[in-house]
């Protein structure tokens, strides 16, 4: 019963490097999203997808790209890492985009440090 799986768990990047955070869910959920969590800021939405082939920007999309080629996978790409992108990243999925009567499942998080 995997749920939402994120990899890697920890990553250190140098400024300017690129990388991809992987996210996979095995619940056949239509809606997937990426958040970042910073001290005192709560969770902020980066990008989201309401289904395969459809993505949209959230609250803080700059510096990040996403794609949704399959229902299961929703990778987050950092194009040119900056120290401001040091954060904990969470992938989430749910059956639909509506929160009412709908459980959102989060992955365990990916700790990213940009030096």
One symbol per residue from 39 to 58: x for binding another protein (CB under 8 A), - otherwise; what is it? -xxxxxx----x-----x-x
Bond from prior residue into 8 cis (ω within 30 degrees of 0): yes
Q: Give the span between the Cα atoms of 98 and 95, in whole angstroms.
A: 8
What sections of the chain are H helices per DSSP? none
Integer-rounded Cα Rg, in Å, for the chain is: 13
- Choose between 14 and 101: whose C-beta lies nearer to another protein: 101
- Choose between 69 and 111: whose C-beta lies nearer to another protein: 111
Residues 52-111 contacting another protein, CB under 8 A: 56, 58, 90, 92, 97-104, 106-109
Residues 23, 24, 35, 78: which binds another protein (CB under 8 A)?
A: 35
SS3 84: helix
């Amino acid at each position: 019963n995997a749920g939402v799986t994120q990899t890697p768990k920890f990553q250190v990047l140098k400024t300017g490097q690129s990388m991809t955070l992987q996210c996979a869910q095995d619940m056949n959920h239509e809606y997937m999203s990426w958040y970042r969590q910073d001290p005192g800021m709560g969770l902020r939405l980066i990008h989201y997808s309401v289904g395969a082939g459809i993505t949209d920007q959230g609250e803080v999309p700059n510096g990040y790209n996403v794609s949704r080629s399959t229902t299961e996978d929703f990778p987050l790409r950092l194009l040119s890492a900056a120290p401001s992108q040091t954060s904990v990243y969470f992938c989430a999925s749910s059956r639909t985009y509506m929160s009412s009567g709908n459980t959102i499942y989060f992955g365990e998080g990916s700790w990213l440090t940009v030096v």
